[in-house]
Structure 1
Amino acid sequence: MNIDESSSPRVWIEKTQQEGRRYKQEGELALGKALISPSEDNGGYRRYETLREADIGDIVLHLVQEQYQIVAISVIDSELQEDFEGPPDNRWSEEQAGGGYRRDLRSKEGIEPHIHIYDDILRNEEYTEDLQRICETTDQKIFYTKNLQLNQGHYFTECPPELVEIFAAESSNLRTLLEKHGYTVIGGTEPYSSISEATDAIREQLTDESSDNWIGSALATDVIKEWTTVLRRNSTVENDIDPSDVHVYEQLFDLYNRHIEQLQTQAGRLGVQQITDSSLTPAQVLFVVLIRDLQLQADLTPNFNHVKMDQLLDERFRRPPLEEPTTLPRGRDTIARQLSRVNQLIFHGPPGTGKTYTAREFARWWIARQSEAPTEAQLEVVTFHPSFTYEDFIEGLTARQHNGGVEYAVEAGVFKRLCDRARHTYESHREGESEGSPPPYVLIIDEINRGNLAQIFGEIITLLEPDKRQYATSETATTLPHSNERFTVPPNLYVIGTMNTADRSIALVDAALRRRFRFIHFPPEMTPLEERYGFDGEVELEALATEGDAADSLLALSILAWKQLNARIRDASQLGRGKQLGHSYLLGIDQDDEATEQVAQLVDAWQFEILPLLEEYYFGQFVQIEQQLFDGDAGELLDTDRQEIRAFTAGELATVLAELVGINVVWETPTPSDDSFSNSLGYLAENDVLKIGDELHFDINSMHENPEPQFEPDSDYWVCTVADLGAQKGVRWAYDGELHSLTDLARRIDHDHRDTKRTSYAGHDYWYIPGYDEYSLLELARAIRDGEPIPEQLQSAEL
């Protein structure tokens, strides 16, 4: 039979003074006859609300503060009166009088001998550790501080069960009086030395019919078995929990939180103690023991302990939500269509063409579109390499220390873990008769061709086919070699592999694998560069190379040279299209940076990415690189005698690239300017002038002479909002809802109103904060830096 909580009184402490308070010595408000307090203290704070929480039948211990003694016990006999006018000595303020609290008491009896609160309790070394632990772990207000001193101002406080046990240990008279009023004192005050000792002690108490394991009636043995298996194969210490097992931790967490009050009450009735060197409360210890008891009843070895409970309470099993990409992935519709049909794709192409980046961005976008609450658990990324094995991918044996020896356990690989995760979600979705498709799970295998594919996939390769997956018409299962587990691939599991064709041709990919994947080619493309930097075709690039500033000129030369080199690589017999240079090597230039910084970024791209890749293609034969790709004229970049890449300057790079593309360019190295800011948005944000979400407006007057605006002045066309202070594309244009850089937008808007397109822009010259159109962002940043007068509305910022 379960405990009737309504019949179990709680214990409270009234800490009061009698000296100088005649009403506390005799009459209807005397000690043990009534509890009274104002509803608010002199400062207006509601410090006496615990009087609301007590119930009729609860027990009150009376601590007389000037004597430092607990002298009597009584029982609450009335509901809360909320209009009490105060004691007769008018000690309450006018604000307090008339709205006070009162609870009547009955059955007052003296405690003999009195319990001296300091000599018997707070200064008793036998209880020091227990008292400090109670103070540190309780969520309630108690009558003493962590320094074991009386807590000033705490008139009426609850007495936790552990504290009642200490009082009862000091006074057999109090124990008798407590039991007389329905409070059963059980157990000692010593902490358990281990969870095993706690289990034995509490299970012995549970043999009493009135203290049965009330959780057990709600749980089936197969649930306990699943919990035990999950607890064994996961580590909350290292936060290494397989997402397919998260539901078990959620069940345990929710079960504890639903029954926390009942656990606290029963822990007090049973006299449950804490465990040495553990921060768990007695209620939490009881929960651990109840779960271990269920494991024992199911003939299982208990493996839920105080350490796992502590980590459960920290919610270490939670997985963060999946973040959607800030921009829509290129080719998303084609990729989604192919992946939905065959479940497996391979992105192939030369290095630097955005295969891995697109795979990650597409997966996040696609998962988010098809999931109500997408999480990181739906996406895994793994990189194949020559030493990657079947054991890493499917399952293998791992050695572990156990009881002084070594035991071998089966450990699932990344593919099996994701399959289990996807299967659990699929079956839950199916059983729940939810609408729509079950949430997808995506495994991205980077550099898939670098592993031994036949060895890594093994017998699983056949199970990848859509018609052989779980619940399909020709469902096919295999028995895994180590666990002997029947294994299928769930329908909502998708695989995207990436491979560099510079490493290995598609023709060399394992034929069995090739039949089960569709291949999407990722060639070098000019379009991403055009979209990123806002130019239109080679004619504009050539104009930019000859007429733009130093940074724009070197960028244009780099793109033209990149295109020329790829044409020569395609024609080279020992290279071919699979070893072209990807466009992503030139995508990372931030045009909002100072010109010198942009130039440095371009030099780095050539010196540390592009030229080393060419060196790899030619196996270090620098003479061939120079002759076949640079017409024998790359001496400023390559040292053919030493067979190494030189530490060249931006001017030397510009000279070689101009020769390569056949353009006559007079290129001058830019010098840093004291008046330039590489990131005006960031500077203004650092000085509390700008924040995420603020609007910026375009200064129409900053365009070329006599512009004829195509939109009304209040149109969204002229507005953007700050979206990311650290990204290249840091603002969102209200007109199209997409992310741009300030420079991109300035160029776009100006080009919309020009017949002849300019090539060089500085975005922070074109935008201003609404209401301060006399300042561009750049001018405002300079004014703040130089301490110049600024608009009054901004002067309150801590600059």
Structure 2
Amino acid sequence: MANHLANGGEISTATFHGSEARAFLLKQGFRVDVKQQTYQLTITAEEVTSTDEEFSMEELGLGDYYRPLEVYFQRADGRRITRKRKKAEQRNSNMTLPRLACQVFEKQLQALSMEEKQNFPICQYKPTHMMICGIYPSVEEFKRYRNTYEYLVYHCNNGEKFVFYRWNIFSTLLFVQECLKRFGAPGDEFVLRYREKDEKELALPSGGGEQQETIVPPGPGYQNPYSSMLLESKNVIFRGAPGTGKSYLARSMAADIISNGETSDYNRLTPEQRKQVEFVQFHPSYDYSDFVEGLRPKVNEDGSMGFELQDGVFKKFISRARKNYEDSQKPKEVIQKEVSAQDAMENFFSSIELDGTRFQTISGNEFYITSVDDQHVQVSIPGNATVKRLRLNIDEISSMLESGQRFEKIKDVTNFFGKRFATQEFSYDFAIYKAIQATKYTASKRVPGQEALKKYVFIMDEINRGEISKIFGELFFAIDPGYRGRAGEVSTQYANLHADPDEKFFIPENVYIIGTMNDIDRSVDSFDFAMRRRFRFVELKADECLDMLDQLEDEVLEAEAIRRMSALNQEIVKVEDLNENYQIGAAYFLKLKTLTFDQLWTDYLQPLLQDYIRGMYDEESIMQRLAKAYGYQQPDGEKSDEAAEN
């Protein structure tokens, strides 16, 4: 263009790529309206062609701007083969095409010699760029050649692995074509259907053949593209129409992050890993006492009723995450002391008789230990005229043992905990401490290792259905991603009832929070603006989580469900006053496990759509268009009744 304006030269579009220009303009802040168009790329042993006129094998970096829709292999005899995905594998991703090639030619690839595998061509973004080659038996071997996370792992049926370079949607076209050249029959071809990414998809990590290779320390590659977004932002809310798979995606991300990229299927997590994930659904009556802490009714041992302060689901979860974070920072010497103290207490409590073994405080009060759990030691004091029972904090006794100090009198305990005056509990802590110290036991010889730092994911489903300020209270500050750790510590409403009133609440750095909200739910209007700025909001479109339809376990049924859903959604956006937020998500179509398509329409989709268009002009005509797009045929009886009404 500059040459044309300055010198009158001819304007050439030979090297102009609309997708690249669009992405550039979007980054500059322009709004670019694009008519969504689907392309089909066909790969044979002889050539690679696309219905997209801008496609070129000499510019594979443009794959960054496209998203895959469908991949299949078609034999010369017309038989079609699709990807046999594992349950946790995404339906369509940048890995689907090369994995399908591995699936079709698995035996032939296995038969290659080590040298042939290492020289196998994978990608060349431009004719002037270096050819990327190599199929490796493990991630470690691959990273010796190319230390990057831009790879895929294919698991063969016999346990062998293929690991090779992969990034954007076009980055493995050479690999697929080479497979056809070496192993395919004349007429065999792979087909890739794809479309341009929208603005939000362009913002997601997708790859970059044109950019310099990103070198990263060895680490896991996550299966879900949104996982990196959550790790970066700490707090994410997925918003979208009903049934778009927001809850499904949240659980998938949690599994992906907790397993360090090994699986995105929550059901495949171990019981220990599931403790790192918590799921709660908000509703109008949900409040602070459910979420953080509050007074709860309790039946005392004598049968009387009382109240006690109990932690809510969020505070319990944070306690687990905080313990892991703090334990992971401790030096080995401290861990060894904690283990020794724990062994000593376990040995002591297992050797005494509950309600039987008698103990005495320094002032002569006799008491019995009635029960012990992870947090408290319950004691009974029969001779005390005012307080018959006490609940001691087991962490206080543990801290005294771990310290290595010698406690000779109550004042030593008071000074140790930084208090001006001794409490009644300190007398009993001291008595139990002395009893444990007097116990002769053989210390454990086990050498503890430093605990690994883990990630914890908290999911708040239907977050907009709850009254946010009533649920979170003073935690607005602590939940801010910029104030994780002690920088965001706050006193909770019931701090004066804690064993230590000075105790502060904070969210450690290893906690990640996901929320989901329904865009068209009437309660969205009341969502707290103080919370909005503390979360990254991500819109999910109706076709975002189509991989959940794998649960139908019927490829024909799945394909028909996707076809009908797409046709219906295209018709919905044509209705005046409706938009993409009213489209139907894939979750509705999971009901096809037990329903027919007609039953799904009459019992679920039709009532929902009627609510959407209620009050619009010509409702009946709109519903007929939607039913036709979906593929619902009204029974003859219904048609004749309508004719009579008309």
| Structure exhibiting the larger radius of gyration computed from Cα positions | 1
**TM-score grouping bracket, smaller chain normalisation:** 0.3 to 0.5
TM-score by length of 2: 0.40
Higher relative contact order (CA 8 A, sep 6+): 2
